[in-house]
Amino acid sequence: MKKGKIYMPSAGPSAWQQFLAEPEKQWRKGYSARTLAHCWEQSDGLPPEIAAMFPQGCELLIAIPEYKVRLPGGARDSQNDLFALVRCNQLTCAVMIEGKVNEPFGPTVGDWFRAPSPGKVVRMQHLCKILGLEKTPPEHIRYQLLHRAASALIEADRFKTDEAAMIVQSFSPTSMWFEDFVAFAALFGVEPKMGEPIGAILSNGGMLRIGWAQGNSAYLSA
């Protein structure tokens, strides 16, 4: 994605490929980037499993693939699979979608934060502040889930929405890596269930809607 503020209408799923960090490597049948693109392009608004994360009558206002959110402490942004603005009656929500098939959530905090550089220390402190965490999360927590959730809260504040949400949209037939999502949710004292949203109340007073949405596996062959 370019760093400008102008976004062009999509010409179809293949238009998403150009925004990937590694377009040739990541755009493969059966993998999350391509699967997610086909699912959202063929849905009339929100895919049903995503709509189920919100009250009835919710409406997709806009969706932007490969959406980058700047974080301090380094040159790399958090590149979210999809950013969506969703309206539910009189409320709006800033939503980050993390698409998954069988790919893991990347390094654990223990791996990413081992002998951290000054920049990583700054970034981790910022993430903890945004997420209302008093200290660095345990080593087994997946770092990717931290900055994806923080991205939702950051953009909710920037767009002045009423809510923030981070939803994992998994197309894995066996729901691979769900246990990592459960461990992440435990940071906020909640226990998620597949297909059901849950509101995590942050210690700083904020609220984050999180959920694991089971995607339609038919899109794996698209």
pLDDT 10s digits, 182-204: 999 999 999 999 999 999 999 98
Q: For residue 28, is it within any domain?
A: yes
Which of the two residues, 192 and 8, has the higher pLDDT score?
192
Q: How confident is the model at residue 4 (pLDDT cuts 50, 70, 90)?
A: confident
pLDDT 10s digits, 34-51: 999 999 999 989 999 999
- Give the pLDDT score at 3: 60
Q: For residue 4, is it within any domain?
A: no
Which domain range does residue 74 map to? 17-221
Q: For residue 12, is it within any domain?
A: no
Q: For residue 7, is it within any domain?
A: no
Q: For residue 180, is it within any domain?
A: yes
- Give the pLDDT score at 5: 82
Q: For residue 5, is it within any domain?
A: no
Q: For residue 1, is it within any domain?
A: no
Q: For residue 3, is it within any domain?
A: no
Residue 63 has pLDDT above 90, yes or no: yes
Q: How confident is the model at residue 74 (pLDDT cuts 50, 70, 90)?
A: confident
Residue 101 has pLDDT above 50, yes or no: yes
- Give the pLDDT score at 1: 39
pLDDT 10s digits, 138-165: 999 999 999 999 999 999 999 999 999 9
| 53 burial type by CB count under 10 A (0-12 exposed, 13-18 middle, 19+ buried) | buried
In 3D space, the residue among 136, 200, 122, 138 whose CA is nearest the CA of residue 167 turns out to be 200
Model pTM score: 0.95
Mean pLDDT of the residues in the chain: 95
Contact 190, 146 (CB under 8 A): no
Number of domains forming the structure of the chain: 1
Rounded CA separation 178/173 (Å): 12
pLDDT 10s digits, 208-221: 999 999 999 999 99
